[in-house]
Structure 1
Amino acid sequence: MAGKRASFADVAAAAGVSIGTVDRVINGRGNVKAETEQKVLKWARELRLDRTLSLRPTRILKLGVLLQTRRNPFYEGMVSALKQCASDYSYLNVQIAFYFFERLDYRDVVEKIEAAARACDGLLLDVFEHPQIRELLTKLATSLPVFTLASDIPDIGSIDYIGVDARAEGRVAGELMGRFVGAKKGEVLLISGLQSFHAHEQREMGFRSVLRDRFPNCTLAKPIESREDKVSTELQVKSALAKNKNIVGIYNISVGSREISEFLQHSNRSNITFITHELTAENRTLLKSGFLDAVIDQDHASEARLALQKFLAHYGRYEGQIGQVGFRIYLRENC
């Protein structure tokens, strides 16, 4: 009948569930699977069940976020942005649980992933490539929404990658390096954190390709893998510069920019072009002081917002426009 108000029975019939299930979802009585709740809410909205027009979802959705140690400034910024974004979307009953792995050991990472999967409705992870990590994530992605953050792990069946184009970042770094070095001829020292981080590998590939194709006067010195450790970065850079007086540039994909900058100053090698990633407070100071030449930065806030939007959209709780992320270049004059 025209004008007839939709009932729980109408929603139940459309969603293919019982009236009792509809009642549990609408009145927040619990004990309903996430996918069933999503289906009920979808049909409740479509049928304009009055009580759902301004409905606050009743079941808490928990997103498990797995990151490297919180002592890393990049991850400190990401944690802060995710917390703020979860607060912004708190009306949709979403919460974030953080899990940190302190060592670059696949066993630690696997253990944290398993703990997060048991307790959460979805996963957002920045982890490195390893057969057992890949196997676990591929298995989990069949039943949980899995999103990769900052560094992708392709072909695991994840929902999406949340982050910038790392290869494009590397190409920009190569362009900046070549232009800053100019007519000088010499070698460039590249420092990655861990090659099994997809983003680090992609940045290096982009960087190498631009130098090779457009700046043949810049050749690459033997690269360094720091394993995301500042002490290791400092020691290896000191050793490399002591052995090689022909280095004209440093591209640091990893941590330890302050330690490198201090060494360059103390050893009278400040004429070396120095480029890195992430506009942390420390890197901003180095950039303003002229110890860094350029910083390529990704926007934590945009990545956090995109991650929450896609997670909520998966469960039918977000229907707005999905955002985008990109990266920015900072020099001394615009930092």
Structure 2
Amino acid sequence: MAGRKTTYADVAVAAGVSVGTVDRVINARGSVQPETEALVMHWARELRLDRALHQRPTRILRLGVLLLNRSDPFLEALVGGLQKAVLDYRYLNLQVRVFEYGKLDARHIVEKITMVEQTCDGIAINAFDDPAIRLRLSEFTRLKPVFTLVSDLPDTNRIAYIGASGQIEGRVAGELMARFLGSAGGQIILISGPGSFLGHGSREFGFRSVLMERFPSCTVSASLQSFEDKRIIRRQVGLMLKQHPEISGVYNTSVGSEEVGDVLRDLGREHSTVFITHELTEKNRRMLQVGILDAVIDQDPVGEARMLVQSFLSFYGRLETERTETGFRIYIRESCSS
């Protein structure tokens, strides 16, 4: 189209819609399906309808984020990252609403998903794997985009999983554990969260896999289920270490690292038992500094929040991004010395 200015008609032909639909999208008049709006915005940019199009006010896009209602530093950091990302992209007319579910009950979560669907243009969800939840999300995707956070939910037609690879995190944890234990190896307690949260299962699979493949002298002699209950973790780990003094390593994929640290300290094993966990909370940082924790594998909740917002905006054609998998960082005592 060199030599002339792109028109609404040009965009309409490219997108396969009417000129009236293009007008409604560009001028935020509403009554256009989300996927049609995304298509029109894509071709408007491709054909350079307006070089400042991304700065033009458009209708408000609302992203609903559904998370477990609990006091969790990681989730708190994730919400803080969402708030910052909304400010950074405020020129694109974005709102994020955080919804919470208070219990691990599929019916309760399905009701929350329906609530999000009624008020938002898309959903990002961190939930456990359940047929009813997957079915409801699959229905959601027929009209609006779905993203999974922290723990993936496959077979839902979700647009993308936003987060680190749990399997790779687990393999890294296994590599670190084996190298800390040395050539003699040792027996290990593995603490896992609810298996229905696929992120926990992926970490455990990765951890066990790398030990079996490359470090046969390191064996998982006990696998404990946390049930996301710190009191259970404290009791079970204490009992296991008392009954089996030969255990030389603890890997925790779940909550309760402070409780594990307390048990190790109470038994005088804080410097003789290798302890590896996830997320660099302030409490975990302090345990690293005094040598109770040996390594922490830390996701990037702020980066994941930003990637989620970018992916949501990209779906609606207001931003361009392709990356959805985020990385993670490894912390040891020397990187947390101050």
8 Å CA contact 2:298, 2:331 repeated in 1:
yes
CA gap 1:2/1:326 in 2 versus in 1, 3 angstroms: closer
Q: Which amino acid aligns with 1:273?
A: V
User: What does residue range 22-41 of structure 1 map to in structure 2 within 5 Å?
Assistant: 22-41=22-41
Q: Which residue of structure 2 aligns with residue 287 of structure 1?
A: 288
CA gap 1:221/1:2 in 2 versus in 1, 3 angstroms: closer
CA gap 1:266/1:94 in 2 versus in 1, 3 angstroms: same
Question: Once superposed, what is the RMSD of the aligned Cα atoms?
Answer: 2.3
Q: Which residue of structure 1 aligns with residue 144 of structure 2?
A: 144
8 Å CA contact 1:104, 1:227 repeated in 2:
no
Q: Comparing 64-73 with 249-258, which one deviates more in the overlay? A: 64-73
Q: Distance in 2 between matches of 1:139 and 1:126?
A: 17
1:210 partnered with 2:210: yes
Q: Distance in 1 between matches of 2:132 and 2:252?
A: 28
Q: Comparing 97-106 with 50-59, which one deviates more in the overlay? A: 50-59
CA gap 1:20/1:143 in 2 versus in 1, 3 angstroms: closer
User: Deviation string for 1:232-285 (max 9, x for gaps)?
Assistant: 221221222232222111100011111111121122122111000011122111
Identity %: 53
Instruction: Report SS of the residue matched to 1:156.
Output: coil
8 Å CA contact 2:185, 2:217 repeated in 1:
yes
Q: Distance in 1 between matches of 2:223 and 2:332?
A: 25
TM-aligned CA deviation for residue 194 of structure 1: 0.7
TM-aligned CA deviation for residue 331 of structure 1: 0.3
User: What does residue range 101-112 of structure 1 map to in structure 2 within 5 Å?
Assistant: 101-112=101-112
Q: Which residue of structure 2 aligns with residue 225 of structure 1?
A: 225
Instruction: Report SS of the residue matched to 1:65.
Output: strand
1:44 partnered with 2:40: no
CA gap 1:280/1:316 in 2 versus in 1, 3 angstroms: same
Instruction: Report SS of the residue matched to 2:216.
Output: coil
TM-aligned CA deviation for residue 16 of structure 1: 4.6
TM-aligned CA deviation for residue 126 of structure 1: 1.4
Q: Which residue of structure 2 aligns with residue 98 of structure 1?
A: 98
User: What does residue range 153-168 of structure 1 map to in structure 2 within 5 Å?
Assistant: 153-168=153-168
CA gap 1:240/1:90 in 2 versus in 1, 3 angstroms: same
Instruction: Report SS of the residue matched to 1:291.
Output: coil
Q: Comparing 189-198 with 43-52, which one deviates more in the overlay? A: 43-52
Q: Distance in 2 between matches of 1:66 and 1:212?
A: 36
Instruction: Report SS of the residue matched to 2:142.
Output: coil
8 Å CA contact 1:305, 1:323 repeated in 2:
no
User: What does residue range 126-137 of structure 1 map to in structure 2 within 5 Å?
Assistant: 126-137=126-137
TM-aligned CA deviation for residue 108 of structure 1: 2.3
CA gap 1:156/1:28 in 2 versus in 1, 3 angstroms: closer
TM-aligned CA deviation for residue 76 of structure 1: 0.9
Q: Which residue of structure 1 aligns with residue 193 of structure 2?
A: 193
TM-aligned CA deviation for residue 321 of structure 1: 6.4
CA gap 1:227/1:56 in 2 versus in 1, 3 angstroms: farther
Q: Which residue of structure 2 aligns with residue 329 of structure 1?
A: 330
CA gap 1:329/1:275 in 2 versus in 1, 3 angstroms: same
TM-aligned CA deviation for residue 184 of structure 1: 4.6
8 Å CA contact 1:45, 1:52 repeated in 2:
no
Q: Comparing 117-126 with 319-328, which one deviates more in the overlay? A: 319-328
CA gap 1:41/1:185 in 2 versus in 1, 3 angstroms: closer
Is there any run of 5+ residues in structure 2 with no aligned partner, and where? none
Q: Which residue of structure 2 aligns with residue 238 of structure 1?
A: 238
8 Å CA contact 1:187, 1:220 repeated in 2:
yes
TM-aligned CA deviation for residue 101 of structure 1: 1.8
1:297 partnered with 2:295: no
Q: Comparing 5-14 with 33-42, which one deviates more in the overlay? A: 5-14
Q: Which amino acid aligns with 2:275?
A: F
8 Å CA contact 1:70, 1:76 repeated in 2:
no
1:272 partnered with 2:264: no
User: What does residue range 64-75 of structure 1 map to in structure 2 within 5 Å?
Assistant: 64-75=64-75
Q: Distance in 1 between matches of 2:180 and 2:43?
A: 58
Q: Which amino acid aligns with 1:143?
A: L
Instruction: Report SS of the residue matched to 1:223.
Output: strand
TM-score, with length taken from structure 1: 0.91
Q: Which amino acid aligns with 1:283?
A: N
Higher relative contact order (CA 8 A, sep 6+): 2
Q: Distance in 2 between matches of 1:2 and 1:207?
A: 57
Q: Comparing 128-137 with 99-108, which one deviates more in the overlay? A: 99-108
Q: Distance in 2 between matches of 1:181 and 1:71?
A: 33
Question: Across the two proteins, how many residue pairs are aligned to each other?
Answer: 335
8 Å CA contact 1:57, 1:317 repeated in 2:
no
